[in-house]
Amino acid sequence: MPDVLAVAPLTKPVDATVRPPGSKSITNRALLCAALAPGTSTLTGVLFADDTRAMMGAVAALGATVVTDEQACTVAVTGIDPAATTGAGTIDARQSGTTSRFILPAAALLPGRTVVDGAEQLRARPFGPVLDALRQIGAGVDELGAPGFLPAAVTGPAHGGHVEVSGHISSQFLSGLLMAGPLMPRGLTVALTSPLVSVPYVEMTTAVMAAFGVTVDGLAVPAGAYRPAAYAIEPDASAASYFLGAAAITGGQVTVSGLGAESLQGDVRFADVLERMGASVSRTADSVTVRSTGRLHGVDVDMADISDTAQTLAAVAVFADSPTRVRGIGFIRGKETDRIGAVVTELRRAGIDAVEDPDGFTIHPGAPQPTRFATYDDHRMAMSLSLIGLRTPGIEITDPACVAKTYPAYFTDLATL
């Protein structure tokens, strides 16, 4: 991929059906549950991207056997008995929040020492809540760098029981604890010490656990065992937001197949936001379609449940006929970059009146100037800002290769529009 990519404006309204690659979040949950199930599971519709390769490497380091067929998007995973496995050495979670936050509690099941580390970007993201939680349930935790950050070493086995963890920084801490819970001798009962963000991701966690034979009751998981499963992964709903956004701003229509009303992913609700803005949305059991009505109004919306689509909305909001206010997402300052600061800075670079708020941002519509956007090594900056280029000549994306974190073929797929 070039160092800078020029986005070609569309010459006519988009009219397309797309199927994004598998969900990152579901892929990484299914890989972990399969790795903790005795026997062989078969996963289909798997995402092959940097974040999921990180999880494949992590579960292999725990001792699971991972056999991939990238062409077919399938993975066969033969799981381990954690109690009979010693520590996993060092795991490189790369830039992946899910891999790192999910693998720490799983590594704490092993009677041995595992070091979890990641790329510089991940080392800057918070880990204190999960490290504290693991100490509460009997694991040894050494912070090898700054307290509350990676790298960290965990030594199990954790006995489980009652644990307290915060919910306002990331839901991934809770999801990771729940997935390891059934393999702790006392099971696990989690109490949240602060309001939970990204709630649909926890519902996704319990749904994937259920597919592998474990039932979560509230935030309590009894001691038990996973069962291997044949598991089909849905297309990625956060990835779908870019194509749905493209329909809304180019006056066209896009159908995303494989993402129906029953999706496990909260981010399918991005279509509801576009509907509130004036787009027409239709849903079937297996698809969602966004059709432009020619009208696009600004919206005032809390995106705490679907924050991975906030940057998509920022790009779409530029082309509305009134301002958009996004609330409830102060915690996205701790993602791949400070996403509130980054998206506001870049829109301002294009001459758009964008304002940073403590818990979100406000975008005033305008006519973007030709701009070379910075992307902050954040895949969602690159994918979101590219939408502006569908309507505006002279838009360039720096470091387009950063999309490899979750969607290596993004720019190829965007070009098919």
Ligand X SMILES: C=C(OP(=O)(O)O)C(=O)O
- Active-site residue list: 308
Q: Does 234 bind ligand S3P (CB under 6 A)?
A: no
x-or-dash string of contact with ligand X, 372-391, rule CB under 6 A = --------x-----------
Task: Tell me the closest approach of the beta carbon of residue 304 to ligand X, in angstroms.
Answer: 14
Between 6 and 401, CB nearer to ligand X: 401
**Are residues 288 and 240 in contact, defined by beta-carbon separation less than 8 angstroms?**
yes
Among 92, 117, 308, 399, binds ligand S3P (CB under 6 A): 308
In the sheet with 4-6, reading across from the earlier edge strand, the strands are: 4-6, 395-398, 371-373
Interacting positions 41-80 with ligand X (CB under 6 A): 51
Interacting positions 388-417 with ligand X (CB under 6 A): 406
Sign of CA dihedral 48, 53, 55, 60: positive
Q: Does 170 bind ligand S3P (CB under 6 A)?
A: yes
380 binds, among ligand X, ligand S3P, none (CB under 5 to 8 A by kind): ligand X
**Are residues 219 and 181 in contact, defined by beta-carbon separation less than 8 angstroms?**
no
Q: Cα 256 to the chain's mean position, in Å?
A: 18
What stretch of H or E contains 67? strand 65-69
175 binds, among ligand S3P, ligand X, none (CB under 5 to 8 A by kind): ligand S3P
Q: Does 29 bind ligand X (CB under 6 A)?
A: no
Q: Which of 185, 191, 174, 189 is nearest to 224 (CA)?
A: 185
Between 168 and 364, CB nearer to ligand S3P: 168
Interacting positions 18-37 with ligand S3P (CB under 6 A): 25
Q: Which range binds ligand S3P by CB under 6 A, 31-39, 55-63, 170-178, 371-379?
A: 170-178
- The tokens describing 301, both together, are 């919306």
339 binds, among ligand X, ligand S3P, none (CB under 5 to 8 A by kind): none
Count residues contacting ligand X (CB under 6 A)? 8
Between 198 and 253, CB nearer to ligand S3P: 198
Q: Which range binds ligand X by CB under 6 A, 90-98, 185-193, 246-254, 276-284?
A: 90-98
Q: Does 175 bind ligand S3P (CB under 6 A)?
A: yes
Among 172, 263, 309, 312, binds ligand S3P (CB under 6 A): 172
Taking the C-alpha atoms of residue 41 and residue 82, their distance in angstroms, rounded to an integer, is: 17
Q: Which of 215, 224, 163, 154 is nearest to 188 (CA)?
A: 163
Interacting positions 137-196 with ligand X (CB under 6 A): none
Q: Which range binds ligand S3P by CB under 6 A, 11-19, 126-134, 139-147, 195-203?
A: 195-203
DSSP character string of 116-136: EE--HHHHTS--HHHHHHHHH
Half-sphere exposure of 248 (CA within 13 A, CB side): 34
Taking the C-alpha atoms of residue 375 and residue 383, their distance in angstroms, rounded to an integer, is: 9
**Are residues 301 and 347 in contact, defined by beta-carbon separation less than 8 angstroms?**
no
What stretch of H or E contains 257? strand 253-257
Q: Does 242 bind ligand S3P (CB under 6 A)?
A: no
* Residue that has been written with the tokens 């941002």 in this structure: 361
Could you list the residues known to form a binding site for phosphoenolpyruvate, using ranges. 24, 97, 125, 172, 339, 380, 405
Dihedral, CA atoms, 363, 368, 371, 373, nearest 10 degrees? 20
Could you list the residues known to form a binding site for 3-phosphoshikimate, using ranges. 24-25, 29, 170-172, 198, 308, 335
Interacting positions 291-350 with ligand X (CB under 6 A): 308, 335
Pairing assessment for the beta strands 395-398 and 371-373 based on DSSP bridges: parallel
Binding site for ligand S3P (CB under 6 A): 25, 97-98, 170-172, 175, 197-198, 201, 307-308
Binding site for ligand X (CB under 6 A): 51, 96-98, 308, 335, 380, 406
